[in-house]
Amino acid sequence: MIEFIKKIALEAGEIIKKGYYSELTNIEHKGQVDLVTETDLKSEELLKKRIKEKFPNDNIVSEETSSGYNFGKRNWIIDPLDGTTNFSHKFPVFAVSIGLEIAGIISFGVVYNPILNEMFFAEKGKGAFYNDELIQVSEKDKISNSLIATGFAYDRWEKGDFYIKEYLAFMKRCQGVRRVGAAAVDLCYVAMGRLDGFFERKLKPWDMAAGSLIVTEAGGNISQFNGEKWHYLDDTIIASNGKIHEEMIEILNVAQNCIL
């Protein structure tokens, strides 16, 4: 199964590369800052076609066109191009993300950046890999020595001050805060130790499904902001190396009570 998922991710990656290196057309706004491109749609069409050819009875949940969840079936949770804004500005940090849920558990995950040629993948219980090399989370045990990433939801024009409170709280406590713009990539960077932690609100399942498995298979920890068990339908996510997880929860709790 993992080889099949890697194969279709590579195929989608070729579509993305073609779009990236050509003149972009048909960039549309789904919201004030939420974009969709012709490449998103072509990548999704390819992925859905390949999945249905091989597994016609499986359900597909995807960003641009989705039939919704069917908890009686296997759910493929896909983002054909996570980081569309980066893509549209020729900033080469974005990825195709494919997660497969079986019996309520994310069992397979692949995240592939075709421009940087970085493929992350995991199968439940078998570890996490970066371009076929086994990866593990970092060993940083203090937030003061850690590099953290975050992202801001699409309502940031209206609620920017709220999100900045959390950003500022970490900026004052850690080595640095990065805002890469592709949650699937952020999660994989936590898994391989480039980042020590990541937090964000209002992500969608296709942003997190594959990456969440890659983090946990690399030895990391995932929860909601309040520390409770995380599910891909939840509204908040913290991903970390596990050693700084409680500190991250504490910082977020303090930030929510601060006034700028």
Please name each of the domains of the chain with its CATH number.
2-134 (3.30.540.10), 143-255 (3.40.190.80)
Section 226-249 average pLDDT? 96
Average pLDDT over residues 30-55: 81
Whether 24 has a pLDDT exceeding 60, the answer reads no
Q: What is the mean pLDDT of residues 103-122?
A: 97
pLDDT given for residue 25 in this prediction: 54
pLDDT value for 33:
38
Tell me the pTM.
0.92
Across the chain, mean pLDDT equals 90
The residue ranking higher by pLDDT, 214 or 69, is 214
What confidence category does residue 67 fall into, taking pLDDT thresholds of 50, 70 and 90? low
Q: How confident is the model at residue 80 (pLDDT cuts 50, 70, 90)?
A: very high
The pLDDT value recorded for residue 32 is 45
Q: What is the mean pLDDT of residues 94-107?
A: 96
DSSP string, the chain: -HHHHHHHHHHHHHHHHHHHTS-----EESSSS-EE-HHHHHHHHHHHHHHHHH-TTSEEEESSS-----TTS-EEEEEEEE-HHHHHTT----EEEEEEEETTEEEEEEEEETTTTEEEEEETTS-EEETTEEE------SGGG-EEEE---TTHHHHHHHHHHHHHHHHTTSSEEE--S-HHHHHHHHHHTS-SEEEEES--HHHHHHHHHHHHHTT-EEE-TTSPPP-TTSSEEEEE-STTHHHHHHHHHHHTT---
The pLDDT of residue 129 is 98
- 260 pLDDT more than 50: no
The pLDDT score that the predictor gives to residue 153 is 75
The least confident of 93-102, 151-160, 226-235 is 151-160
Percent of the chain at pLDDT > 90 equals 76
pLDDT single digits (tens) 153-209: 776 567 678 788 899 999 999 999 999 999 999 999 999 999 999 999 999 999 999
The pLDDT of residue 49 is above 80: yes
Residue 213 has pLDDT above 90, yes or no: yes
**CA distances to 12, 48, 69, 84, 259 from 66, in Å:** 18, 10, 8, 18, 39
Q: Is the pLDDT of residue 227 over 90?
A: yes
How much is the average pLDDT of 79-107? 94
Residue 256 has pLDDT above 90, yes or no: no
The confidence score (pLDDT) of residue 61 equals 93
Kindly tell me if the per-residue pLDDT of 240 is higher than 70.
Answer: yes
